[in-house]
Structure formats: C-alpha cells, structure tokens
Amino acid sequence: MSAKRLLFVTGTRADFGKLEPLALAAQQAGFAVSFFITGMHMMRRYGETRLEVKRFPGAEFFEFVNQREGDAQDFILSKTILGFSDFVHEHRPDLVVIHGDRVEALAASIVCAMKYIPSAHIEGGEVSGTIDESIRHCNTKLCSAHFVSSEGAKQRVLALGESPGSVYNIGSPELDTHARPSGVTLAQVKERYAIPFDDYGIAIFHPVTSEADTIGAQAQSLFARLEASGRNFVVIAPNNDPGTEDIFAVLERLPSDRFRRIPSMRFNYFSELMKNASVMVGNSSAGVREAPFLGLPSLEVGTRQNQRASGPSITTCSAFDIATIDTFLSQAWGRHLGSNSTFGAGDAASRFIDVLCTETFWQHPLQKVFAGE
C-alpha cells in the first residue's frame, strides 16, 4: 500500500513555523508530504518566504498566488477557494493539514468540507481579538479532526459540538523548535540579518482588522515609547491585514541605528534570536505562547491577543498606556523567568504522529453530528 498523502496548507511565515515540525515528523513516519504555498509567502514585500518553505527536504510543492497588494480579505478568500478547489480536484490528498485563523486556512477548510476530504485543524479553540477568532471557530466546525494546544482550547472545541474522539491536545507545535537547539549561533543570526546589537528587544506589531482606523495611531504611540526608552530593537514586519500600510509608515520613520527592520526570518534563526532577547513587545501570538515557554518577558499591546493566555512573564496594556509601556521596558528588560508549559512541552510533533499512526484516526466519519447533547 502506498503511503498516505498529507497536504500542508501554508500562507504565512507564522503558520509554516507551526506546520514544519509536524510535516517533518510525518515524513519521518513514512507519510508522503506536500505543501500548498500561497498568501504572504508569495509576496516580495514580506520576504518571499515561499523560498523558505521550499527548503523542506523531500516534499512536493505547489504554489498559488491568491492576492495582490491591498486586496480585500473577502476577495482573497474567494480567490483562494477557487484555486484550492481546482488543486485538490487534480491532487486529492488523504489529509489536508490546516493551521489557525487566516483566510487561506478558511478557504482550505471550506473546500475540504464541501468535497469530503479529511482535514486536520491545528490550534483550534483559541480565543483572541479581531476577526481571527471567528475564522478559527469556523475552521473548527468545518474540519474533521482537531489538534489543539491546551486543555482550555480542547474544552472550547468540545463546547462547539465536536466529537471528543476527534480532539487531541498535542501542545503548540512551534515549541518543538524552541525546545531543541536552533542549530545556529547568535553570531550567525546577527551576521545573516545584519543585526548590530548585543542587547536588544524584539518588536512585532500586526494590524487588527477591526481597528484599521486607529492602528496607525496605536503603532505611533507604541514605537514612540520604544524609541524614547533608548533601547535597541529588532523589528519584524507586520502581516498584510488591512491597516498594515499605516504600521509600515511608522516603522519606516524609526532611527536605523537602534531599530533593525526585517521582513521575515527563518524560524530556527528567529528561535535563537528569541532565546537571547531581553524582552518581546507587540501583539504577536509569539508573545503569549513562545515567549512564556522561553521565560522571555513580553508586553502584549492592544486587543489582538485578548484572553489568549496569561502568566507571570506577560504584561498587557493599551498602545496608549505610556506608563505601563515605560515601566515594562525599564523593569522587565532582561529579567527572564522559568519556562511556562501551558501550551505544551515541546513534543507536539510526536503526539501528532502517534494519532496519525492509529487506524481509528482514519476511520472517523466525515459527516458530522453535534456532540454533547
């Protein structure tokens, strides 16, 4: 019998960092692995990270351009549905692996549900701000299996009526990368990305789709405080949601001697950068799950990660809360804490494969019924 074919759908550098450990473990377990590459990966402004995906050894790659700069999210969704539907009509995989809450993931989960193709949703059941949470819960209802990152997430997926037999808590996959040596030194990271600082924080501030009219002012307020602190920062570019132009306008005015702006980074290089940082600031999910796992103090700004996680290493505030931002930068800088295992212990990939290697996983019915009543 030929190996079962797993198709991983990836649209951003962030979801690839979570899917890569799972894909590698699947390949090592004898599954045939391929990637459907789309979204930000295909855009030069965001580092053309499709090239990073294609460094994955021994896989097949399929590329699809689903947007132009500035396209509306609903247009991107509809175009991706058409493109992905055409693709799976020709290359029908045994399982489609989808992550999170982006429009590319929603497009793939819609197509899989309509065509009765088994699909596995990674990191469902999370709560956060913006339209992302709604998309994430939609994916839960559309996908046939669920690999969640915490017990809290598992309970939310069950509350949505999913069968207990289809929900597996494996932890957050990107922690697998952080739990092992990165394979590079900090000196190599600094050389590759021209980072001149020995002591630095990391700043990542994404648009919030429901706050597009104020996101530029939020970015201006936050980065003004980072500049006033006198500290050095490595700034990773925001994603391409509505409002990104307003954030880029702020980033482009930052002094280059203390702010190193980078479109994107290889994930193992980013891991090494985080392990040696003094703080993390912004509204990336990395600040509420990866930073606590590494004991890195993080400042979560605004509503994008609302209620997603809490812990002693996490400080939350508004972008306009100058006092809290200033206090964090002066008092938390370089004060690392113990590792937090709320989102797993860095063994998600092995847990994922343990499930896929059981016969019962492949016998789940694709026609859903609402469980729990």
Say whether pLDDT at 366 is over 80. yes
pTM of the complete model: 0.92
Joined tokens for residue 322: 């100058």
Say whether pLDDT at 90 is over 90. yes
Tell me: do 131 and 10 sit in the same domain. Answer: yes
Q: Where are the alpha helices (DSSP H) in the chain?
A: 13-28, 50-53, 73-90, 103-115, 130-142, 151-159, 174-179, 186-192, 215-228, 244-251, 267-275, 290-294, 322-331, 348-356
Tell me: do 250 and 109 sit in the same domain. Answer: no
Average pLDDT of the segment spanning 227-254 = 96
Tell me: do 155 and 217 sit in the same domain. Answer: no
Average pLDDT of the segment spanning 48-70 = 96
Tell me: do 228 and 141 sit in the same domain. Answer: no
Tell me: do 358 and 327 sit in the same domain. Answer: no
Question: Phi and psi at residue 316, in whole multiples of 5°?
Answer: -120, 145
| Residues composing the chain | 373
**Are 43 and 240 contacting, i.e. CB atoms less than 8 angstroms apart?**
yes
Say whether pLDDT at 159 is over 70. yes
**Are 35 and 56 contacting, i.e. CB atoms less than 8 angstroms apart?**
yes
In a domain, 70, yes or no: yes
Number of domains forming the structure of the chain: 2
Residue 307 CB coordination number (10 Å) = 14
Cα–Cα dist 216/182, whole Å: 34
Say whether pLDDT at 187 is over 80. yes
In a domain, 373, yes or no: no
Q: So what's the pLDDT on residue 188?
A: 98
Q: So what's the pLDDT on residue 161?
A: 97
Q: So what's the pLDDT on residue 321?
A: 98
In a domain, 272, yes or no: yes
> pLDDT tens digits, residue range 330-365?
999 999 999 998 899 999 999 999 999 999 999 999
Give the domain extent around 137.
5-171+346-363
Task: Look up the CATH number of the domain holding residue 320.
Answer: 3.40.50.2000
Q: So what's the pLDDT on residue 148?
A: 98
In a domain, 104, yes or no: yes
In a domain, 178, yes or no: no
| Residue 128: band (very low, low, confident or very high) from pLDDT cuts 50, 70, 90 | confident
Joined tokens for residue 50: 């499709």
